[in-house]
Chain A
Amino acid sequence: MNIRFDGKVVLITGAGSGIGQATALAFGTAGAHVVVADRRIEAAARTVALIEAAGGHGTAMACDVTSANDCAAAVAKALEVTGHLDVLVNNAGIGHSGSVLATEESTWDAVMSVNVKGTFLMSKAALPTMIKQRAGSIVNTASIAGLKGLPERAVYCTSKFAVVGLTRAMALDHVGQGVRINCVCPGTTETPWIAERLDEAQDPKAARAALVARQPMGRLGLPEEMAAAILFLASDASRFTTGSALAVDGGFLA
């Protein structure tokens, strides 16, 4: 199945690195104009350069998803392209390792703010346009931590369960208005964030081996594999699917 997005405008948050960057590149390669939003404009610009090198089109946008003004500005930027917004990927997120006892109140607020409130604010900014179009698809990046409790991930699990819940509730609210809303739940993926966590470990090699050992497929996921699932959920190939949480985890939850 060759999923194409020619003539479509796609807005992706947290698109300066990792899964967001791979997803932006996949949409760009599939013909979409990608608005690459990231808190760090230089990271967003790097992703746009990758898209252009692959023959696609993109626009970099500095965007802090915890700011309603930034979210509105990102949607406005997307609408400058052709006047419509076809796909929103709420991918911006931050991770945190630790139990409740090892989580500072400020950390709790930061994780919940980016992962949950950011998804809420950006959806709130994009939905009026999609409802007016009577067409649109929102894909949220949740996590296996949004479907199962994981040790030492108290606030992260909480935030990702919330993303899954928000996905399901929004799906019901807007189903009659032509907007589908789904989420992907990546398993452990080869991203800069995971690389940093491994580097911090006392024995990075052993830490990586432990991560791989818990994977039924015997390896971590690739950002491109998360991107392929996001493109599927954003496309007409999944037009009868809304409110679903698709695990892309190499069998971790099986």
Chain B
Amino acid sequence: MTLSTEKPVAVITGAAKGIGLATAQMFFAQGYRVASLDADEAALREAHLSVSPGDAYEDWWPLPADVSSSVAIDGVVAAIKHKWGRIDVLVNNAGIAFAASLHEHSNADWNHVFAVNVNSAFFMARATLPLLQTKGGAIVNVSSMTALVGQPRGVAYTASKGALLAMTKALALELAPHNIRVNCVCPAGVDTPLMQSWAASQANPQAVLQAQAQMHVLGRMATPQEIASAIFFLATPNASFITGVILPVEGGATLGYRRT
């Protein structure tokens, strides 16, 4: 029997809902301890309750944290180090969407999007590096298909996701000698609570969701689990020679023209 102290540890940001939650559940189901970071405390508690109570209950650790703050992150990572003593996987998933025209972007909007989507990944990577180094760990960043092809009404969001692509490549090269792999997934439309609430706020929610589905050549949005399975693959020894890779998980949305 494996001692519980030997369980690998996955640290996942934005883990209370959507892709982050599905990812946390996948690592947990595969025997990982999960440090689940999110700014939304209520959602974190709800997610924790969704884990079946039992021996492993303590292996799911909800950590309320503002990941745009390096002070908050350094504190959280120190706590993980103290309690579990290791980090094997970091998933930088926390992110916010911001849809507006260029002239509607205030300085504060731009800075906020970059603080949550980009600074958080940098702070997390820097803080977890000493722990990742001892194991030969893996980092997976969650970018977006918009970083590959652009998107109107989203200059800050698209640029922030593009920054994650470049950060992935730079860190992959820098950390390869330490046997730390750094990769990135690019989802397109994913059926998450965020997507549903956004659609509900539109004039015709059904038409909006239909248009989202049709954007992908597979004719539907992804499930959060479909993004999670790609993240899980890249984070585990199955992908031991894969680093610096940008993997689209976008149902062919960036592929090109197709018959209509």
User: Residues on A close to B: CB < 8 A?
Assistant: 1, 3, 168, 171-172, 175-176, 187, 216-218, 221-222, 225-226, 228-229, 231-232, 237-244, 246-254
Contact = CB atoms under 8 A, between A and B. Distances in A.
A244 B242 contact: no
B244 A246 contact: no
Nearest to B248: A244
Contact of A241 (B26, B169, B248, B258): B248
B256 A239 contact: no
Nearest to B242: A248
B241 A187 contact: yes
Contacts of A244: 247-248
Contact of A251 (B173, B232, B249): B173
Interface string B86-103: 000000000000000000
| Nearest 5 A/B pairs, CB to CB | A254-B244, A216-B176, A225-B241, A240-B226, A254-B172
Interface in B226-260: 226-227, 229-230, 232-233, 236, 238-245, 247-252, 255-258
Nearest to A219: B241
Given A218-B177, A229-B238, 20 more contacts: A1-B26, A1-B30, A1-B238, A172-B258, A176-B219, A216-B176, A216-B243, A217-B176, A231-B238, A237-B229, A239-B226, A241-B251, A247-B242, A248-B241, A248-B245, A249-B241, A251-B176, A253-B244, A254-B169, A254-B244
Interface string B212-231: 00000111001100110110
Contacts of B70: none
Contacts of B133: none
B222 A254 contact: no
Nearest to B29: A1
A98 B226 CA distance: 42
A240 B244 contact: no
A241 B244 contact: no
Contacts of A175: 217-219, 252, 258
B229 A172 contact: no
A171 B255 contact: yes
Contacts of B257: 172
Contacts of B256: 168, 172
B192 interface: no
A1 B173 contact: no
A167 to B, nearest CB: 10
Contacts of A250: 176, 241-243
A174 to B, nearest CB: 10
Contact of B252 (A171, A232, A247): A171
A154 B247 CA distance: 27
B218 to A, nearest CB: 6
A217 B239 CA distance: 13
A144 to B, nearest CB: 11
A246 B245 contact: yes
B239 A247 contact: no
B242 A246 contact: yes
Contacts of B229: 1, 237-238
Given A218-B177, A240-B226, A254-B169, A1 B258 contact: no
A228 B238 contact: yes
Given A1-B30, A240-B218, A242-B252, A251 B172 contact: yes
A251 B243 contact: yes
Contacts of A248: 239, 241-242, 245
A239 B221 CA distance: 12
A254 to B, nearest CB: 2
A226 B240 CA distance: 9
